[in-house]
Amino acid sequence: MYKVREGYFSWILHKITGVSIVLFLLFHIWGMSRMSKGPEAFDAVIAAYKTPLFRAGEVLLLGAILFHAINGVRLILGEFTVWAMEKNKLLAWLAYALVGVLFLVGAYFMWRAEG
Ligand code: HEM
């Protein structure tokens, strides 16, 4: 079914990105609850979001979401169509290419934007 290399790489990255997005959502809810404590707390959270560490984290989040979503569509196609299962290797490489291009364009604009 799966070719070992692409299949394993995608499998492990799909799990890492899925769990990372859940952790981000929990962290995001915690951040929003801190912000709601008053104007100083709001400004402190916004200031933290503008630091290079957080901005790099946002770029990584973009990559995780892009990979999880696009690879997830490939997995779903492979579950439902014989064609996608047979073309698994090609589709895996197409997914990497699409994720790569969208990530580079997105990361460029995110990093360029005012913090
Ligand atoms: C376009 C949106 C998404 C698509 C197409 C998608 C697709 C998938 C698919 C097909 C699986 C099953 C993988 C397998 O069978 O091994 C999966 C697993 C998972 N997804 Fe998503 N997903 C999406 C969005 C999300 C979001 C927003 C989150 C987090 C909030 C998330 C978290 C997870 C987690 C934690 C798993 C389990 C990982 C594992 O153990 O395999 N996904 N996703």
* 75-112 confidence digits (pLDDT tens): 999 999 999 999 999 999 999 999 999 999 999 999 99
Categorize the per-residue pLDDT at 57 as very low, low, confident or very high, splitting at 50, 70 and 90. very high
Q: What is the pLDDT of residues 58-79, one digit of tens each?
A: 999 999 999 999 999 999 999 9
Categorize the per-residue pLDDT at 7 as very low, low, confident or very high, splitting at 50, 70 and 90. confident
Distance (angstroms) between ligand 1 centre and the Cα of 63 equals 14
Distance (angstroms) between ligand 1 centre and the Cα of 44 equals 32
Q: What is the pLDDT of residue 114?
A: 73
CB of 61 closer than 6 angstroms to any ligand 1 atom: no
Q: Quick check: 36 pLDDT over 90? A: yes
Distance (angstroms) between ligand 1 centre and the Cα of 60 equals 17
Domains recognised in the chain with CATH numbers: 4-112 (1.20.1300.10)
CA–CA gap between residue 73 and residue 27 (Å, rounded): 26
Q: Quick check: 4 pLDDT over 80? A: no
CB of 84 closer than 6 angstroms to any ligand 1 atom: no
pTM above 0.85, yes or no: yes
